Amino acid sequence: MARLHLFDLDGTLLHGSSAPVEISRQLGLEAETVALDRAISAGLIGPPEYATQVHALWASLTEAHVAAAFDAAPWLTRIREVWAELTRNGDYCAVVSLSPSFFVERLIDWGAHAAYGSRFPAVPFTEPVDPTGVLNAVAKVRIADRLCAEFGVTRADCVAYGDSMSDKDLFGAVPVSVAVNADRHLTGLATHSYTGRDLWEAYELVRVA
Ligand SMILES: [Mg+2]
């Protein structure tokens, strides 16, 4: 039976960082964005306000900045190896993230079968961000359900990988979950836990021999 592996991006595939911080680093604005990451983690702002604020910071953002941010980001090792093995086994892998779609979708090139992020206007920005396209923890479950239908599997066939409370609802909806470099609140909700920088080692915890 095929399984669907659902990966969070920020703090999970990216070690100790987020796509917005990596994008902002290219513009010399990482301190402002780290502050926004702290504010959203503490629940002081929600995803729509976060998206509006990073969009305002990125007025001069170009595709070249996004490509440089993607290339320089602190990815876990062996992401592509894990996705290639899943594909060989007939499994599916998808990335579902609250981060901007224009960054998340780049992971299709690494072998993800699907990649969803918060909907942002095209770079360079000439339009505002539409708050209705910004994802949250509940939306991750909705997207997981849509992907299940698309790939012909059910929630019972899903494995989720995540690091923070934005993964809590998804971890509650699927039978197998891997807390990756996670805070203790999420680790308590996961069936497995991994600390380190190698996605293969996290995957091995749930690998079916
Ligand atoms: Mg995360």
What distance in angstroms lies between residue 162's CA and the mean position of ligand 1's atoms? 6
What distance in angstroms lies between residue 164's CA and the mean position of ligand 1's atoms? 5
Phi, psi of 124 (to 5 degrees): -70, 150
* Token pair recorded at residue 204: 């091995």
- The string of pLDDT tens digits covering residues 128-141 is 999 999 999 999 99
Q: What average pLDDT does range 9-15 have in this prediction? A: 98
The pLDDT of residue 209: 67
The pLDDT of residue 72: 98
Residues by chain with Cβ below 5 Å of ion ligand 1: 8, 10-11, 163-164
Residue 118 forms beta bridges with which residues?
100
Question: What CATH number does the domain located at 4-16+75-204 have?
Answer: 3.40.50.1000
Question: CA–CA separation, 39 vs 73, rounded Å?
Answer: 22
What distance in angstroms lies between residue 43's CA and the mean position of ligand 1's atoms? 14
The pLDDT of residue 208: 82
Confidence tier at 123 by pLDDT (50, 70, 90): very high
* Contacts with 109 (C-beta within 8 Å, 6 or more apart), sequence order: none
Start-to-end Cα distance in the chain: 13
What distance in angstroms lies between residue 196's CA and the mean position of ligand 1's atoms? 15
- The string of pLDDT tens digits covering residues 160-193 is 999 999 999 999 999 999 999 998 889 999 999 9
Radius of gyration, CA atoms only, the chain: 16
- The string of pLDDT tens digits covering residues 91-100 is 999 999 999 9
Domain ranges of the chain: 4-16+75-204
What distance in angstroms lies between residue 41's CA and the mean position of ligand 1's atoms? 10
Confidence tier at 153 by pLDDT (50, 70, 90): very high
Q: What average pLDDT does range 62-84 have in this prediction? A: 98
| Beta strands in 15-129, from DSSP E residues, in sequence order | 92-100, 114-118
What distance in angstroms lies between residue 96's CA and the mean position of ligand 1's atoms? 10
